[in-house]
A and B are shown apart, each in its own frame.
Chain A
Amino acid sequence: MATETHSAEAAAAPGMPQLDFSTWGNQIFWLVIALIAIYFVLSRMALPRIAAVLAERQGTITSDLAAAEDLKVKAQEAEDAYDKALVDARAEAHRIVGEAKAEIQSDLDAAIAKADAEIAAKAAESEKAIAEIRAGALDAVKVVAADTAKEIVAAMGGKADAKAITSAVDTRLKG
């Protein structure tokens, strides 16, 4: 049954349907309408719009590139200014450090001189005190030595003359 319908259709459109010229007029009519529709849609709406978008994008890119170039130059300038400021600040810092060092040095020198003077005074005083103490100690040693000798002599059973012992101690201490 199906085959029969097919053969009937095949008879109606022999071989290739493409060569059935009875449909050509119809196809050409609709094709022309379709092409005109596409042409108007494209030329009136789509193509100008896309061209505008592309041009706008190109413009944006160009101006962005120019802006980037500008910013780059500005950044370079800022960097130069920064470097200069840094160099200035470094020189200033050096100057301040030098000044401070000199000031401190002079202060230090004055303080050292003052301290030296004080130390010298203190040392002289101490020398004097030590000399006194030494003199005092020598007298005390004499007395103690005489007393001790007297006691030792007494303990040994002798009667000691105070004067003789003192002179003996003195000669001993001198020797």
Chain B
Amino acid sequence: MADKAETGGLVFHPMDQFIIKPLFGEGAITWYTPTNAALWMGFAVIAVIVLMVLGSSKRAIVPSRGQSVAELAYGFIYKMVEDICGKEGVKYFPYIMTLFMFIVCANFLGLIPTAFTPTSHFAVTVVLAMAVFLTVTILGFVKNGAGFLSLFWVASAPLALRPILAIIELISYFVRPVSHSIRLAGNVMAGHAVIKVFAGFAVITLVSPVSVVAITAMYGLEVLVSFIQAYVFTILTCVYLKDALHPHH
């Protein structure tokens, strides 16, 4: 109680914003309960539809603003896939586009005050990363057979070093989904939590101007992070896909 008196009503609950609640009622969360996470994933789907389908519905030769954004997103990811994976990778462009559009829309929608950010949860990013990891691994073996293992056998290194490098490569390969998922969720979660902490400081009158400025600065940073993390996730997916298509160094 003495502690509480000292902090003078300063109560931080920066992680409360990530709590998953049922949309209706207070019951337990079963696997099909519509939750706030489900709601904001649904908003992300709607945002993708509005941007990509409605935006391009006019099929104008000279694009409108919405169509320009849709074409920009298309060209951005298409070029990324083509540059990194080559012509064979273009086949997987719709999957990569799905990942990118979901992450970027969920991230940006999560920046709306009081919104919920699905991508701040490891449940979401781990599923995304594992989907990429399993797809890429299976694809690598299907496309190259045992030749996919040459990914771990660095032929350009001296023979004595190769077994050691193979172990390192193997470990780094299995760490990929971990870093892939934690990077995205960690960045998004940390940004939101820091904003919340600054917001908690705003209770103190003297500090509140600093707090507001800090929230503004963090918010700007988060706008960048939202896009950059979606970009990083997508580009790493492309890199992993390239390894599956061309495992030879």
The residues of A with any CB-CB pair to B shorter than 8 Å are 2-3, 6, 9-10, 13, 15-20, 22-35, 37-39, 41-43, 45-47, 49-54, 56-57, 60
Contact = CB atoms under 8 A, between A and B. Distances in A.
Given A6-B13, A31-B124, 13 more contacts: A17-B20, A18-B120, A19-B122, A20-B20, A26-B29, A26-B35, A27-B38, A29-B32, A32-B127, A38-B102, A41-B45, A43-B98, A50-B52
A27 B101 contact: no
Contact of A46 (B13, B37, B53, B124): B53
A52 B70 CA distance: 13
B204 interface: no
Helix, strand, loop or mixed for chain B's interface? helix
A18 B158 CA distance: 44
Given A26-B31, A53-B67, A31 B127 contact: yes
B11 A38 contact: no
Nearest to B20: A23
Helix, strand, loop or mixed for chain A's interface? helix
B4 interface: yes
Interface of B: 4, 11, 13, 15-16, 18-20, 29-33, 35, 37-38, 41-42, 44-45, 48-49, 52-53, 56-57, 59-61, 63, 67, 70-71, 74-75, 93-95, 97-99, 101-102, 118, 120-124, 127-128, 185, 189
Contact of B70 (A13, A16, A17, A46): A46
B120 A30 contact: no
Contact of A38 (B32, B45, B59, B127): B45
A85 B182 CA distance: 78
B30 A26 contact: yes
Contacts of B18: 16-18
Contacts of A24: 123
Given A41-B49, A42-B101, A27 B121 contact: yes
A27 B11 CA distance: 28
Contact of B16 (A6, A32, A47, A60): A6
B128 to A, nearest CB: 8
